[in-house]
Structure 1
Amino acid sequence: MEGECKVLLDAAVDTEARTQTLRVKPSSKLTTALLVFTLCLAAAAAAVLIVNRHAKGPGPDEDNFDLHHTLRQISNVRAAIHLEGEYNPDRKTSVEWKKDVDQSHFQGGLELNNNEIIIPRKGLYFVYSQASFRVNCVSDDDDYTSKSMVHLSHTVKRWSKSYGADDSIKSYQTILHSVRTACQKNSNSQLDEEGSWFSAVYMGAVFNLNEGDRLKTMMEEKMLQDLEDGPGKTFFGVFAL
């Protein structure tokens, strides 16, 4: 009797163990399959999102980035103007400045108005100018003991509200001025048959200018007739720093 109970008990234990084994194994395989299936779904969803994003084009954030980048490029255009000069007998105190000839150009708000450069906004600017001349150095005086020197000069003047003057007065102040001795009058020039002396007066410096400031050049009338106005010889310009 005792032996039969032991056999039955062992059989019951063995049967229960097999049952548990059968229950565990299918559960483990099912979990693995579910995990693999979930990963596949996640990968497929990510692929769909990527495809849709490319099909729709850049999002709002990317559009805003492109717009800001373009605006920065526009705002970074440095203000500059370069003018070519020529002699105009109707102007008695200055060169006639041209903005649409040879290498002349303008951008960033700087402009030419009434033969003057207008400053668009407050800031540091480099102002420069050059005037070239062909001077006759032959003297008509036979008294060589009193030989005269030929001087060339060129001036840039500024008008600004910061000076405190009335707008209607247009009081200008000199900001650049240069004088050069070209030659000495002589009866026998050693330069060429006509006794001409070629010379240029150049000047340039940095200034803190205000919005609405006006810049102009001045020159003695007698020198304007000797002006060399070929390409690149006489010019006037400003650029922002």
Structure 2
Amino acid sequence: MEGECKVTLDTAVDKDTEKQATQRLQPSSKITTALLVFTLCLAAAAAAVLIVNRHTEVDHTLRQISNVRAAIHLEGVHNSKLNTSVEWKDRVDQSHSQGGLELKNNEIVIPRDGLYFVYSQASFRVSCRNDNADDTSSHPMVHLSHTVQRWSRSYGNDDVKRDYATILHSIRTACQKTTSSDSDEDGSWYSAVYMGAVFNLYRGDTLRTLMEEEMLNKLEDDPGKTFFGVFAL
């Protein structure tokens, strides 16, 4: 009997100890759980703020990009290797490009559908002196011309078929050949051909210029004299 009582007493003590320990642990566990939940809420809130800020920054950046008006301005120089066009430069003097318009293979590439103002000027130095002093019956006129052409898939073209359509063309008479001239001593005259107009262009369209080969040698390619450009409206 004595041994049985002892066993029973030990069991009771163990249960009381466990209950007290449990009572001591329960408040601590609740505090820990509350802190964990609070920490998780803070982390979720911080993540939400970061996502919102990131989304706002992306929207702001996209608005900035969309607000950049597409424009390109090129300077022209004579290149003896080209016999049908001026060589256009996009990183010299006042030339620039933005908004997706770019120079590729000596052509301007349109980045997106829209209305664009296309313009170009070619300046020349031509001789109006008739070197044949014996020929007084013929006084040929000196003509200057400049052309801008467009390639577009809307014409039924593809990347292989490169059929161009003229969208700007200007021709003017600079002078008449004479045996005597009132211009400078070497009989040279300076003249420019300018043209520009608004066109509805499509993404992937390209624009190029054409010029008669005999006129390329007379091209004035000092800064600001010969240029080619496009800007979105």
TM-score if structure 1 supplies the norm length?
A: 0.73
Deviation per residue, 1:30-51 (Å, 9 max, x gap): xxxxxxxxxxxxxxxxxxxxxx
For structure 2, list consecutive stretches of 5 or more residues without a partner in the other structure: 1-45
Shift of 1:70: 3.2
- Structure 2 residue aligned with 1:187: 179
Are residues 1:177 and 2:169 paired? yes
Of residues 198, 202, 223, the one that matches 1:206 is 198
Are residues 1:160 and 2:152 paired? yes
Of residues 115, 120, 137, the one that matches 2:111 is 120
Fraction of identical pairs, as percent: 70
The aligned runs of 1:89-168 (5 Å cut-off) are 89-141=80-132, 142-168=134-160
Shift of 1:65: 4.3
Deviation per residue, 1:37-86 (Å, 9 max, x gap): xxxxxxxxxxxxxxxxxxx9xx5666654543332112111111110000
Mean alpha-carbon deviation: is it higher for 202-211 or for 140-149?
A: 140-149
- Distance in 2 (CA, whole Å) between partners of 1:222 and 1:197 is 16
- Distance in 2 (CA, whole Å) between partners of 1:81 and 1:138 is 38
- Distance in 1 (CA, whole Å) between partners of 2:158 and 2:94 is 36
Of residues 67, 80, 83, the one that matches 2:71 is 80
Q: Could you say what the CA RMSD is over the residues aligned between the two structures, in angstroms?
A: 1.7
Number of residue-to-residue matches in the alignment = 185
- Distance in 2 (CA, whole Å) between partners of 1:189 and 1:126 is 39
- Distance in 1 (CA, whole Å) between partners of 2:124 and 2:131 is 20
CA contact (8 A) 2:65 2:99 kept: no
Are residues 1:234 and 2:226 paired? yes
- Distance in 1 (CA, whole Å) between partners of 2:70 and 2:130 is 46
- Distance in 1 (CA, whole Å) between partners of 2:159 and 2:209 is 19
Rg larger in structure? 1
